[in-house]
Structure 1
Amino acid sequence: MENKWMRAALPALLIHGSIGTVYAWSVFKQSVADYIGASVPNVEWAFSIAILFLGLSAAVLGHFVEQDIKKSALLSTLFFVVGMIGTGFSIQHKSLIGIYIFYGVIMGIGLGIGYLTPVKNLMLWFKDNKGLGTGLAVAGFGLAKMIFSPIMVALTNSFGLWQMFIILAVVFAIMMLTGTALIRKPLNWHEEPLVNKFKPTAFLKNSTFIGIWIMFYLNITAGLAIISQEKDILADLTNAQGAVFSVAAITLVVSIDAFFNAAGRVGFATLSDHLKDRNSVYKLIFGISIIMSLLAYFLPDTSAAMPIILVATFFLINAGYGGGFSALPPLLSDRFGMKAISKIHGLALTAWAVAGLSGNQLASYIVHGLGMTYQTVFIVIAGLYLIAFLVSALVVKPTQMLVE
């Protein structure tokens, strides 16, 4: 079938739905640490390295994705599947370095290529609703954790921890190869070479691109600071108020978070299709996040409304976190055109690479390094969201700099 659902949306969901399981690392990091005899903080670095290499590979290989999305989808499959298999055998041999290499570096490269591959294609097929198109793909990335986490737990219980990685490597290979076979650009789209050589350094001098990079980075950093600590924050509140959240309730909240993350990816990006300037959706995300963070900070732990406010804050920050990803490609295409969008998007994703290193560490440093309460994290991220709002309003201009 030659339509946007079979040639763009379904392949995107198959590819992103596979590579998005990188976010499930938090589900089994304790099990990995126990199995190989390492500390959880040391094991956590595997995830940070994966996000770092996602951003770096996206920036470096954007031109490759631009040229041939079938080859880039195939290369992404190769790196991601080899990374999964290598991670499984590294766990079996209790090699932390092996986990860093396979889960962090090799899978990370597969993530970067795979993340970029469907995005431009979706915007070409959904040319009148670019936000909806990218929202569908990036929603698959967000939903992957929610869908596969229980499957991973079941496989681990039935077959073993390292065996689970090998089994899922086969499943993801089938999914991603199917996506590779289906994905194709519209027949009426002809990829023309750029008139002027693409110069990444030119974007380092462009205030609008710099502004987009900064607000994207701040949204991820602030979001990760909360997302990475949700279980601990809820447990802390339970200790302050007594039996507020049981273990099962905390698990349920975290699971529903994944739904809001995915819903935000579709909702905010689709909303941007109906706004005069797509940048306005970021102001909305940051405004909501500021309000909720301040409420979570100033409301006393002992307040009866605190559990409700806290859960609502988690849900809305997750929605804004996801929406920041899906609204990015259409915003970049509005400012810089479609010709080199994969390269430009890849450059912007370096913000994700940096935020992947700083977001988790920010909350951990505030709580464990400085000995402050979890509520302090909320006032810090409220400040980050405020800076992001000001950058969006004052630095990201509506003027275009089309790449030809």
Structure 2
Amino acid sequence: MKKFENKWVRAVLPALLIHCSIGTVYCWSLFKNDIANYIEKPVGQVEWAFSLAIFVLGMSAAFGGKLVERDIHKSSLLSALFFVAGMAGTGFFIYQKSLIGIYISYGIVMGIGLGIGYLTPVKTLMLWFEKQKGLATGLAVAGFGLAKVIASPLMEKLLGERNSEGILVHASNIYTMFYILAGIYLVMMVIGHLLLKKPADYEGESVQARSFSYRKVLTNKTFIGIWLMFYINITCGLALISQEKGILAFIGFGAIGLVSSLTAIFNAGGRIVFSSWGDRLKDRNSIYKIIFISSITIILLTILLDGMTKSMAILIIALLCIVNAGYGGGFSSLPPLLSDRFSLDTISTVHGLALSAWALAGLSGNQLSAFILEKTQTYDAVLYVIMGLFTVATLISILVVKPDKVSLESEDPNWKKKFVAN
């Protein structure tokens, strides 16, 4: 059985099975209108189920890090149960035409499964890939990004034909789809749960991890800086990504589906490229500088050359691709950066706390661009605001998140022990 005791079977494969399942939360846009039509509620009200799911994802990760740190098998099983129950429950409450039930099942129950499942494979991957932590987390988080590309055709098939107005011919397919998906993801996540295993020489939870201090992390300047960078990157990414179809329609570009697939590939590719690139750098924080500066550059070029016009279609598509790549890369580069700054011993807990930024950005990102458009009626204004936020993030990366050579751990050899002491 030794041939099955390797990093690909015990870390990468289960991580992909788990993340490719929970990542389908980003397929929401494919069926939100169908849900609204079936339960006879405004799309705006139904939309809150997705926002709630992302919020609960971040908060359950923030509070579930200690559980993941102690027992990955318990956490991976809980993730599967909550996620699948939430998926099946969503189908049931759609059938019942209960909006509150959808909020609870898709938003809260499934959200808990999302948060715990997102965290669970990360530390195990970094333990197996000790010298290539960025590559390891990039592979897993890429699964989360690719889930939409993989699941979208299946969902479209399950939803079936639509009439000339885009309404499902067989309305019952909307809740039936959730039942079928729940069964598929149950199998995938349980297999991932059974395969996931830390290296044989792993010593288990350290004394430092058991005496972890939330207060000291949350008040630490480096952690606050990383949290703010991560929050801004997600907010800017969502602000632009949420308007992707609208921007392309505004400039009169017809192949929206093709561009959507292209940006999804860049999103997933950025998760692998940026985080694995960080393995080669002296300081992983440099990756965030690259992400922010490249985003600022392409936005500035778009504004200076001609703004949001049809003649700039290629540049605008490049803008969407680069921001998507940086958005994905920000997620995959986070765990290795936190590991470098706060040690691998407590990475699940610290990573979970940092993901609370995702919870808040999930509420603010889409709303930011919608608010700007409502007030200005122009996409150029959205670009100006996003560019300004990326500039702030760059300054935080330079001035607050210091390089390894001046990190807390290197300043004081006993820092790790002092840091986690209550």
Determine whether 1:109 maps to 2:118: no
TM-score (norm 1): 0.95
Match of 1:222 among 223, 229, 236: 236
- Cα deviation, residue 371, structure 1: 3.7
Aligned equivalents of 2:310 and 2:364: distance in 1?
A: 33
TM-score (norm 2): 0.91
Q: Which residue is 2:412 aligned to? A: none
Which secondary structure state, in structure 1, belongs to the residue aligned with residue 204 of structure 2?
A: coil
- In 1, are the aligned partners of 2:308 and 2:316 still within 8 Å (CA)? no
C-alpha deviations, 1:249-270, integer Å up to 9, x for none? 1011011111100000000000
Q: Residues 179-258 of structure 1: matches in 2 within 5 Å?
A: 179-195=192-208, 197-238=211-252, 245-246=253-254, 249-258=255-264
- In 2, are the aligned partners of 1:265 and 1:325 still within 8 Å (CA)? yes
Which deviates further from its counterpart, 140-149 or 91-100?
Answer: 91-100
C-alpha deviations, 1:181-237, integer Å up to 9, x for none? 100000001113324721111122211100000000000000000111100111111
Counterpart residue type for residue 371 of structure 2: Y
Q: Which residue is 1:389 aligned to? A: 394
- In 2, are the aligned partners of 1:339 and 1:403 still within 8 Å (CA)? no
- In 1, are the aligned partners of 2:218 and 2:224 still within 8 Å (CA)? yes
Match of 1:144 among 142, 147, 151: 147
- In 2, are the aligned partners of 1:43 and 1:96 still within 8 Å (CA)? yes
- In 2, are the aligned partners of 1:237 and 1:301 still within 8 Å (CA)? no
Determine whether 1:118 maps to 2:132: no
Q: Which residue is 2:355 aligned to? A: 349
Counterpart residue type for residue 327 of structure 1: S
What residue ranges of structure 1 are gaps of 5+ in the alignment? 239-244
- Cα deviation, residue 304, structure 1: 6.1
- Cα deviation, residue 300, structure 1: 2.5
Q: Which residue is 2:164 aligned to? A: none
Determine whether 1:272 maps to 2:278: yes
Q: Which residue is 1:281 aligned to? A: 287
Match of 2:266 among 260, 268, 286: 260
**Structure 1 residues 30 and 297, CA gap change in structure 2 (3 angstroms):** farther
C-alpha deviations, 1:135-166, integer Å up to 9, x for none? 00000000001110111111111771110010
Aligned equivalents of 2:365 and 2:289: distance in 1?
A: 21
Which deviates further from its counterpart, 88-97 or 17-26?
Answer: 88-97
Aligned equivalents of 1:359 and 1:310: distance in 2?
A: 20
Which deviates further from its counterpart, 223-232 or 290-299?
Answer: 290-299
Q: Which residue is 1:160 aligned to? A: 173
Q: Which residue is 2:45 aligned to? A: 42
Determine whether 1:69 maps to 2:72: yes
Tell me how many residue pairs correspond in the alignment.
395
Which deviates further from its counterpart, 191-200 or 113-122?
Answer: 191-200
Counterpart residue type for residue 66 of structure 1: E
Q: Which residue is 1:241 aligned to? A: none
Kindly, what percent of the aligned residue pairs are identical? Answer: 59
Aligned equivalents of 2:201 and 2:341: distance in 1?
A: 23
- In 2, are the aligned partners of 1:20 and 1:141 still within 8 Å (CA)? yes
Aligned equivalents of 2:314 and 2:110: distance in 1?
A: 38
- In 1, are the aligned partners of 2:251 and 2:310 still within 8 Å (CA)? no
Aligned equivalents of 1:237 and 1:24: distance in 2?
A: 25
- In 1, are the aligned partners of 2:308 and 2:380 still within 8 Å (CA)? no
- Cα deviation, residue 309, structure 1: 0.7
Q: Which residue is 2:301 aligned to? A: 295
Aligned equivalents of 2:24 and 2:206: distance in 1?
A: 35
Which secondary structure state, in structure 2, belongs to the residue aligned with residue 189 of structure 1?
A: coil
- Cα deviation, residue 302, structure 1: 7.6
Which secondary structure state, in structure 2, belongs to the residue aligned with residue 339 of structure 1?
A: helix
- In 2, are the aligned partners of 1:333 and 1:341 still within 8 Å (CA)? yes
